[in-house]
């Protein structure tokens, strides 16, 4: 798509959602933004300071109130090394309390930063972290119960890069911000005053908060100049509720080299890359030809996420090769992943994600009323048809194992309380309630079931797991490495988990849907981990 056409398209969209006309000119002025690269923050004398603060960001020539970590929006990229001991100091200068979670880091519950670890306004939190996992791209974000969606929407999120001997040795692009590029993709919605417009209501509790513009590292459709060669993108889907399908505008392949928890065994070629909220993938893209390419966001099958402009492909980042020679080759092999142990006789846990039926129907109706038209494109085909009415709910969900919709959604449910409209195993999140205890070091098989057809990225704190089955299917090749998030959408996913560290009742690990409005309205549970009794 030509840039001019894109602007025109966005203009129309903007008009239809109420952003005033002068914005269009400003949008045009914005289209040559350089991709912002957050500063790398390394521990100094083993210490790291992050200040959670209010700020402002200029979009479309207007000043927008945003929040950031030691920044106006987003935060520095934390550069950590395996084995390192880091004393974190998180200072909360927001007008409200927050919590800070290291998503993907395998740290003890006491340092994990779940909703039990609230930092009051003006307060601080000082966990010590031992970096104890392979090289990977992780991230950090707020986690206060019922406020996570809002605080992330305001701009709070940052990347974490863990390096180790393996990543040192691999012949990959490594010049940070040049050919090794962090890319945080998020959608936003602004009101008529150009301020972030967040609302929690029946509709957002159902489909999530979604925007009508996409920002990349805090900027609108930025471009990045890179040497002529392979570039490595460290992609993060930092959206509240939107799953992404990424592709190159000229359909050139991307090679996935790492998932949430670290490197894959070999690069895996893909032409489209689906990313759930919270997921990270590292990909290599070849700029050796010297030709520009746009990273596109393509339409996805998720209710609410096909509303214009996202019923079309939308460019989110332009990559422009300069005249400098770049990284020439891509390694054939990366790492050896630990073999998946035999899982015949492992302890099994059933985890059922569900939504209040009545609330969900209200939410879908509101989506249709507010954003109009036929539900066709929004539903992405199959949502209502095969899914809700047919096999999905009745089969696995409703009747199967007696853990389905009947007990809660339809009869009991939330009683109209929006904050309890989403559930795990029939219970909306209850602070300080432990669902179960897992022994440290013990492999377990978790069977995660979705009794509705909504998209639920199921995320577990404190571990990097392996996916044995993803929404009724064997996982795609690039989803077979270390993961902390798995897709559940009307089907059953099976993950193999193991925890290295303890999480006591006062600082439990969380497992939740990473559609943040589902999480905030109850689709989250806590659990403890404890030392295994030593047998003689």
Site for ligand C2O, rule CB under 6 A: 101, 103, 141, 143, 278, 459, 461, 510, 512, 514
User: Residue 27 or residue 448: which is nearer to Cu ion going by CB?
Assistant: 448
Residue indicated by tokens 């894109």: 6
d(Cα 359, Cα 205) in Å, to the nearest integer?
9
Write down the least CB distance from residue 309 to ligand C2O, Å. Answer: 27
Tell me whether residue 248 or residue 460 sits nearer to Cu ion (CB atom): 460
Minimum distance from CB of 514 to ligand C2O (Å)? 6
- Shortest gap between Cβ of 512 and ligand C2O (angstroms)? 6
Min CB(525)–ligand C2O separation in Å: 11
Question: Which residue has tokens 């989506």?
Answer: 367
Q: How far is the CB of 146 from ligand C2O (least distance, A)?
A: 13
| Distance of closest approach, residue 101 Cβ to ligand C2O, in angstroms | 5
Q: Which is nearer to ligand C2O, 58 or 146 (CB)?
A: 146
* Binding site partner of 224, from ligand C2O, Cu ion, none, Cβ cut-off 5-8 A by kind: none
175 Cβ neighbours under 8 A, 6+ residues apart: none
CB of 94 to ligand C2O, least distance (A): 19
Distance, C-alpha 59 to centroid of its chain = 23
Binding-site partner at residue 408 among ligand C2O, Cu ion, none, CB < 5 to 8 Å by type:
none
| Cβ pair 277, 457 in contact under 8 A | yes
Q: Which does residue 278 bind out of ligand C2O, Cu ion, none, counting CB within 5 to 8 angstroms by kind?
A: ligand C2O
Residue 518 interacting partner from Cu ion, ligand C2O, none (CB closer than 5 to 8 Å by kind) = Cu ion
Residue 515 binds: one of Cu ion, ligand C2O, none (C-beta under 5 to 8 A by kind): Cu ion
Which DSSP string corresponds to 424-466?
ETTB---TT-EEEEEETT--EEEEEEESSSS-EEEEETT--BE
Residue closer to Cu ion (CB basis): 461 or 507: 461
Q: Among residues 27 and 107, whose Cβ is nearest to Cu ion?
A: 107
**Residue 102 to residue 501: CA distance in whole angstroms:** 14
How many angstroms separate the CA atoms of 481 and 259, rounded?
A: 6
Measured distance CA(237)–CA(38) in Å, rounded: 16
Question: Around Cβ 320, how many Cβ atoms within 10 Å?
Answer: 13
Those residues whose C-beta lies under 8 Å from the C-beta of residue 529, and which sit 6 or more positions away, are 109, 437, 438, 439, 440, 462, 499, 501, 502, 503, 509
Which is nearer to ligand C2O, 103 or 224 (by Cβ)? 103
For the CB of residue 411, give the shortest distance to Cu ion in the complex, in Å: 21
Of 103 and 318, nearer to ligand C2O (C-beta) is 103
Nearer to Cu ion, 284 or 424 (CB): 424
Which of residues 187 and 286 has its CB atom nearest to ligand C2O in the complex? 187
For residues 147 and 237, give the distance between their C-alpha atoms in angstroms, rounded to a whole number: 19
Binds 360, which of ligand C2O, Cu ion, none (CB < 5 to 8 A, cut-off by type)?
A: none
Evaluate whether 54 touches 65 at the Cβ level (below 8 Å). yes
CB of 117 to ligand C2O, least distance (A): 12
Which chain residues interact with Cu ion by CB under 5 A? 103, 456, 461, 513, 515, 518
* Smallest distance, ligand C2O to C-beta of residue 139, A: 7
- CA–CA distance from 412 to each of 1, 87, 380, 490 (Å)? 50, 46, 30, 21
Residues listed for the chain: 536
Other beta carbons within 10 angstroms of residue 271's beta carbon come to 10
Q: Work out what residue 143 binds among Cu ion, ligand C2O, none; the CB cut-off runs from 5 to 8 Å by kind.
A: ligand C2O
φ, ψ at 383 (rounded to 5°): -60, -60
Least CB distance to ligand C2O at residue 158 (A): 12
DSSP structural state of residue 251: -
- Which of ligand C2O, Cu ion, none binds 456 (CB below 5-8 Å, type-dependent)? Cu ion
H-state helical runs in 483-534: 516-520
Q: Select 13 or 528, whichever has its Cβ closest to ligand C2O.
A: 528
Is the separation of the CB atoms in 172 and 179 below 8 Å? no
Q: How far apart are CA 279 and CA 271, in angstroms?
A: 18
Tokens at residue 389, please?
Answer: 């009415």
The residues pairing with 62 across neighbouring beta strands, listed in sequence order, are 59
Greatest Cα-to-Cα distance within the chain, rounded to the nearest angstrom? 75
Q: Among residues 14 and 524, whose Cβ is nearest to ligand C2O?
A: 524
Q: Under a CB-based contact definition with an 8 Å cutoff, are residues 452 and 103 in contact?
A: no
Residue of closest CB approach to ligand C2O: 103
Which of ligand C2O, Cu ion, none interacts with 512 (beta carbon under 5 to 8 A by kind)?
Answer: ligand C2O
CB of 6 to ligand C2O, least distance (A): 31
Q: Which is nearer to ligand C2O, 115 or 326 (CB)?
A: 115
**Measuring CA to CA, which residue among 383, 373, 382 is closest to residue 206?**
383
């Amino acid at each position: 798509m030509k840039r001019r056409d894109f602007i025109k398209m966005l203009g129309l969209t903007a008009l239809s959602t109420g952003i005033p006309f002068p914005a269009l000119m400003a949008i045009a002025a914005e289209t040559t933004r350089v991709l912002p690269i957050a500063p790398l923050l390394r521990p100094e004398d083993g210490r790291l300071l992050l200040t959670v603060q209010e700020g402002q960001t200029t979009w479309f020539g207007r000043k927008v109130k945003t929040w950031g970590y030691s920044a106006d929006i987003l935060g520095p990229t934390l550069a950590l090394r395996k084995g390192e001991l880091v004393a974190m100091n998180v200072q909360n200068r927001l007008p409200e309390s927050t919590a800070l979670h290291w998503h993907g880091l395998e740290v003890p519950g006491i340092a994990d930063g779940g909703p039990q670890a609230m930092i009051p306004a003006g307060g601080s939190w000082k966990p010590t972290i031992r970096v104890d996992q392979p090289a990977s791209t992780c991230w950090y974000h707020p986690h206060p119960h019922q406020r996570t969606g809002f605080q992330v929407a305001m701009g709070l999120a940052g990347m974490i890069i863990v390096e180790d001997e393996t990543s040192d040795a691999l012949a990959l692009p490594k010049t940070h911000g040049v050919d090794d590029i962090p890319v945080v993709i998020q959608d936003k919605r602004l009101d008529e005053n150009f301020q972030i417009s967040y609302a929690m209501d029946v509709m957002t509790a159902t489909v999530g908060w979604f925007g009508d513009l996409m920002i990349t590292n805090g900027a609108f459709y930025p471009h990045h100049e890179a040497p002529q060669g392979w570039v490595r993108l460290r992609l993060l889907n930092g959206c509240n509720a939107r799953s992404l399908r990424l592709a190159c505008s000229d359909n050139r392949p991307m090679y996935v080299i790492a998932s949430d928890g670290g490197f894959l065994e070999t690069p895996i070629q893909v032409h489209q890359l689906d990313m759930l909220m919270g997921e990270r993938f590292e990909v290599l893209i070849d700029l050796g030809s010297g030709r520009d390419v746009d990273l596109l966001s393509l339409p996805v099958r998720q209710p609410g996420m096909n509303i214009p402009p996202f019923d079309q492909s939308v460019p989110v980042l332009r990559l422009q090769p300069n005249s400098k020679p770049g990284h020439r080759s891509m390694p054939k092999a990366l790492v050896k992943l630990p073999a998946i142990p035999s899982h015949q006789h492992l302890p099994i846990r059933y985890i059922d994600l569900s939504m209040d039926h009545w609330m969900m129907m209200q939410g879908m109706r509101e989506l249709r009323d507010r954003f109009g038209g036929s539900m066709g494109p929004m539903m992405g085909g199959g949502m209502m048809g095969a899914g809700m009415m047919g096999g999905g709910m009745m089969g696995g969900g409703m009747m199967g194992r007696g853990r389905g919709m009947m007990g809660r959604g339809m009869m009991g449910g939330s009683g109209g309380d929006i904050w309890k409209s989403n559930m795990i195993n029939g219970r909306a999140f209850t602070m300080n309630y432990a669902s179960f205890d897992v022994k440290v070091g013990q492999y377990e098989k978790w069977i995660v079931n979705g009794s509705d057809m909504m998209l639920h990225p199921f995320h577990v704190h404190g571990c990097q797991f392996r996916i044995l089955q993803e929404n009724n299917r064997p996982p795609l090749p690039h989803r077979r490495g270390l993961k902390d998030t798995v897709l559940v959408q009307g089907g059953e996913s099976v993950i193999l988990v193991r925890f290295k560290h303890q999480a006591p009742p006062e600082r439990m690990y969380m497992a939740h849907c990473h559609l943040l409005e589902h999480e905030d309205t109850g689709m989250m549970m806590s659990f403890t981990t404890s030392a295994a009794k030593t047998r003689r």
